[in-house]
Structure 1
Amino acid sequence: MKIVDLSRELYHRTPSYPGHPPIIHGVWKTHEESFADSGNVYGLSSMFISMADHGGTHIDAPRHFGKTGQPINEYPLENCIVPGICLDLRHIAPRAEIAPDDLKAAVNKAGVPVPKGGTVLLCTGHHDRTFPRKEYATDNSGVNVAATEWLARQGVVHFGIDSMRPGPDGKVNLLVHKACLDLGITHIESLCNLEALLGQGRFTFIGLPLKWRDGTASPIRAVAVFDL
Structure 2
Amino acid sequence: MKIVDLSRELYHRTPSYPGHPPIIHGVWKTHEESFVDSGNVHGLASMFLSMADHGGTHIDAPRHFDRRGQSMGEYPLEKCIVPGICIDLRHVAPRAEITPADLEAAVKKAGVAVPKGGTVLLCTGHHARTFPRKEYSTDNSGVNVAATEWLARQGIVHFGIDSMRPGPDGKVNLLVHKACFDLDITHIESLCNLEALLGAGPFTFIGLPMKWRDGTASPIRAVAVFDI
TM range, smaller chain: over 0.9
Counterpart-to-counterpart distance in 2, 1:18 and 1:213: 24
Aligned-pair identity in percent equals: 88
1:79 partnered with 2:79: yes
Aligned partner of 1:9 in structure 2 is 9
Question: Alignment partner of 1:140: what SS?
Answer: coil
Amino acid at match of 2:215: G
- The CA deviation string for residues 7-42 of structure 1, in whole angstroms up to 9 with x for no partner, is 000000000000000000000000000000000000
Report the equivalent of 1:145: 145
The answer as to 2:225 corresponding to 1:225 is yes
Between the aligned partners of 1:217 and 1:92, the Cα distance in structure 2 is 27
Which residue of structure 2 lines up, in the alignment, with residue 188 of structure 1? 188
TM superposition shift of 1:142? 0.1
1:158 CA drift (Å): 0.1
Counterpart of 1:52 in 2: which secondary structure? coil
Q: Do residues 48 (structure 1) and 48 (structure 2) align?
A: yes
One-letter amino acid of the counterpart of residue 125, structure 1: G
The equivalent of 1:65 in structure 2 is: 65
Q: Per-residue deviation at 1:179?
A: 0.1
Aligned to 1:94: 94
Counterpart Cα distance in 2 of 1:15 and 1:106: 29
What does 1:120-135 correspond to in 2, within 5 Å?
120-135=120-135
Task: Extract structure 1 runs of 4+ deviating beyond 2 A.
Answer: none
CA distance in 2, matches of 1:178, 1:216: 14
- The secondary structure found in structure 2 opposite 1:208 is coil
Say which SS state the counterpart of residue 102 (structure 1) adopts: helix
Which segments of 5 or more consecutive residues in structure 1 lack a partner in the other structure?
none
Alignment: residue pair count: 228
Deviation at 1:105, TM superposition (A): 0.1
Find the counterpart in structure 2 of residue 212 from structure 1: 212
Give the 5 Å matches for 1:15-34: 15-34=15-34
Alignment TM-score, normalising by the size of structure 2: 1.00
Q: How far does residue 63 in structure 1 lie from its aligned partner after superposition? A: 0.1
Deviation for aligned residue 1:190: 0.0
- Residue type matched to 2:137 in 1? A
What residue is the counterpart of 1:203 in the other structure? 203
TM superposition shift of 1:165:
0.0
| CA displacement, residues 77-121 of structure 1 (integer Å, 9 cap, x when unaligned) | 000000000000000000000000000000000000000000000
Secondary structure of the residue aligned to 1:92 is: coil
The structural deviation recorded for 1:73 is 0.2
Paired amino acid for 2:88? D
SS at match of 1:135: helix
Say which SS state the counterpart of residue 9 (structure 1) adopts. Answer: coil
Question: How big is the alpha-carbon RMSD for the aligned residues of Structure 1 and Structure 2?
Answer: 0.2
**Runs of at least 5 residues in structure 2 that lack an aligned partner in the other structure:** none
